[in-house]
């Protein structure tokens, strides 16, 4: 029968370096926990609303909702199924989260002993030394961190060893994901700007009929409006709002010229709730009403 189980666990987890016998890769785990919106609202974690930094790595994996961080001048949105890795001494702020947010956090340092293998040294070398990385989490990473957090929450004999093994696997999984983009500079994400631009354009094409806004597009690909505008300005020379406006305008002209759809139906297909709103938009862009444009186009 175990005695003083909870006190024993706290003492063991307070020891920061507990290497496994024969293992030359040392993982110093400072904290691993599950954070829900309720625990945040109840007062725990209030400090982290302010700008702060740590001497260790922070890995945040969001399983529900989203977390928003401020790093430098960038607003970082970490959505469901994504992880954010923040390197030591990088100042950051948690600036918001959705009411249903649920995430796991892992704080750690990692280093090797003198006789570490090439693979162990490689694992450490592949971790970014500065900046941050935002990426999609694999199913394996999600399962591993849940197991590790639950093991710590309800400790038993062998829990320290199990948590360390599980966290080691999480670290390897993160390195594998990051290594999918070799040479990635710190402070960027594995999603290149042209990929995010393509994702945003496709989302606009697929959903323009629903009357989406530029903020909806930003939320969908989990970046701030400022970031999205920077990407669109670089790739197209237009802000997101202006790109969507031009897309609606060009599609309207194409449908007015090439189809027999009614003006009201065309407006609905482009996300306008009423024919009046569509006609006003088109006249502002073209200088003539949709019916005048259609009549002039067919007579030319």
Contact present, 85 and 174 (Cβ < 8 Å): yes
Contact present, 57 and 109 (Cβ < 8 Å): yes
Q: Does the pLDDT of residue 60 top 50, yes or no? A: yes
The residue with greater pLDDT, 194 or 148, is: 148
**Tokens coding 119:** 């693979």
Query: What's the sign of the alpha-carbon dihedral 275, 280, 286, 289?
Result: positive
Lowest mean pLDDT segment, chosen from 67-71, 78-82, 94-98: 94-98
Which pLDDT tens digit goes with each residue over 103-119?
998 888 888 888 888 88
Q: Does the pLDDT of residue 130 top 90, yes or no? A: no
Residue 106 CA to residue 147 CA, distance in Å, equals 12
Q: Does the pLDDT of residue 187 top 60, yes or no? A: no
Secondary structure of residue 139 in the 3-state scheme: helix
DSSP annotation of 52: B
Tell me what pLDDT residue 300 has.
65
* Buried/exposed code over 184-219 (b: 16+ C-beta within 10 A; e: otherwise): beeeebebeeeebbeebbeebeeebeeebebeebbb
Q: Does the pLDDT of residue 49 top 80, yes or no? A: no
DSSP annotation of 106: E
Q: Which residues contact 274 (CB under 8 A, 6 or more apart)?
A: 267
Average pLDDT of the chain, as a whole number: 80
Tell me what pLDDT residue 223 has.
75
Q: pLDDT-based confidence at 41, cuts 50/70/90?
A: very low
Which pLDDT tens digit goes with each residue over 251-268?
999 999 999 899 999 999
List helix spans (H) across 221-262: 225-236, 240-258
Residue 147 CA to residue 90 CA, distance in Å, equals 28
Global pTM value? 0.56
For the chain, give the percent of residues with pLDDT over 90. 23
Write the burial class of residue 283 (CB in 10 Å: 0-12 exposed, 13-18 middle, 19+ buried).
Answer: middle
Residue 3 CA to residue 5 CA, distance in Å, equals 5
The residue with greater pLDDT, 144 or 35, is: 144
């Amino acid at each position: 029968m175990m005695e003083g189980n909870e006190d024993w666990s706290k003492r063991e987890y307070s020891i920061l370096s507990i290497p496994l016998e024969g293992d030359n890769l040392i993982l110093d785990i400072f904290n691993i926990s599950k954070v829900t919106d309720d625990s945040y609202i109840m007062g725990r974690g209030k400090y982290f609303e302010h700008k702060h930094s740590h001497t260790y790595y922070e890995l945040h994996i969001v399983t529900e909702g989203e977390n928003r961080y401020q790093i430098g001048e960038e607003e970082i949105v970490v959505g469901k199924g994504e992880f954010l890795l923040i390197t030591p001494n990088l100042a950051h702020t948690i600036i918001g989260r959705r009411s249903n947010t649920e995430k796991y956090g892992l704080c750690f340092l990692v280093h090797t002993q003198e006789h570490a293998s090439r693979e162990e040294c490689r694992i450490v070398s592949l971790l970014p030394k500065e900046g941050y990385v935002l990426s999609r989490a694999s199913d394996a990473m999600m399962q591993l961190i849940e197991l590790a957090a639950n093991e710590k929450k309800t400790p038993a004999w062998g829990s320290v060893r199990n948590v360390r093994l599980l966290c080691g696997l999480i670290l390897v999984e993160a390195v594998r994901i990051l290594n999918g983009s070799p040479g990635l500079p710190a402070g960027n994400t594995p999603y290149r700007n042209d990929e995010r631009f393509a994702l945003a354009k496709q989302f606009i094409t697929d959903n323009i009929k629903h009357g989406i806004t530029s903020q909806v597009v930003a939320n969908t690909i989990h970046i701030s409006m400022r970031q999205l505008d920077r990407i669109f300005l670089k790739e197209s020379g237009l802000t997101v709002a202006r790109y969507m406006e031009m897309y609606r305008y060009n599609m309207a002209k194409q449908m007015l010229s090439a189809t027999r759809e009614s003006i009201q139906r065309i407006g609905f297909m482009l996300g306008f709730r009423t024919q009046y709103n569509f006609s006003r938009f088109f006249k502002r862009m073209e200088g003539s009403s949709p019916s005048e444009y259609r009549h002039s186009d067919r007579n030319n």
